Amino acid sequence: MPSRTNSAAPSAETPCSTASRRAPISGRCSRPPRASRTVLARPRSGKRLDEPRHAFRSDFPSTSTETNMQDEIPLMLVVSDSRKASLFTGTIVRGAGDALPRVRLALAGILESPWRDFHEHGRPSALGQGPSANASQHFAGTGHEEEEMERRFAHQVAAWFASRAALAPEAVAIAFAGPRFLGHLRAAIASTGSDLRLERGDLGWLRPAELGAHPAVRAACAAAIPRAVPASEA
């Protein structure tokens, strides 16, 4: 009986097996890399968005001008004693939640009294005759002259401030002076008709930053703000 030879059908060669015969490559069959694809964020509605997802979050703090509103009011501050007066200009910054306003100051000018030179360089004249030690000698009193010089200097400060305040009529005007000089300054300011708020305090030794942070200055600015704001804005 003739033997039947079962001839196996030629099997289809895969690209991997064909490539393996052409070049001995160990490992898995290499495939071309897949092109990268950027998937944009999609909201719950299913629409495609071109902006990043965080741009649509509503839990960010609001930056509107209504919540961060601040009022800046111009300020002119005079700090004076019987020998020197310093003029500071700046602003009063009033925030929505501030108990006292913040004050920013810068030195704008200094006025010195003639009594300063008289006190440092002048000497009272000696009274009495005779070179002996038993001779009666004493110095002439200068109390009246000192008071007169303080009064004159107070008028100089008032006129100096009035000329500077005329350049900024919308500014809040406040003056700090010691107890002794405050009376002379009050009388001098009344004669000029200036709208200057007088406060008691020896603050001439403070720097502008320290002066702006002083509680007495901030309290005086807070009390003077309603006078500076028009009735339509109050």
Query: What distance in Å separates the CA atoms of residue 149 and residue 82, rounded to the nearest whole number?
Result: 8
Q: What are the distances in angstroms from CA 120 to CA 83, 114, 117, 130, 195?
A: 11, 10, 5, 28, 34
CA distance 191 to 203: 25
Contact 184, 151 (CB under 8 A): yes
The answer to whether 193 touches 202, Cβ cutoff 8 Å, is: no
3-state helix, strand, coil in the chain (%, to 5): 35, 20, 45
Q: Report the run of H or E that residue 144 belongs to, with start and end.
A: helix 143-165
Pairing between strand 102-112 and 84-95?
antiparallel
Question: Which one, of 215, 226, 221, lies nearest residue 76 by Cα?
Answer: 221
Q: Domain residues of the chain, as ranges? A: 70-121+144-228
CATH 3.10.129.10 fits 70-121+144-228, yes or no: no
Question: What is the distance between the alpha carbons of residues 216 and 210, in angstroms, rounded to a whole number?
Answer: 11
Distances (CA, A) of 28 to 11, 12, 84, 218: 21, 19, 94, 80
pLDDT in tens, the chain (234 residues): 555 555 545 555 555 554 445 555 555 555 665 655 554 555 555 544 444 443 333 333 343 343 345 789 999 999 999 999 999 999 999 877 778 999 999 999 999 987 766 555 554 544 444 454 454 444 444 567 888 899 999 999 999 999 998 899 999 999 999 988 999 999 999 988 888 899 999 998 899 999 999 999 999 999 998 655 544 454
One-letter amino acid for residue 172 of the chain = V
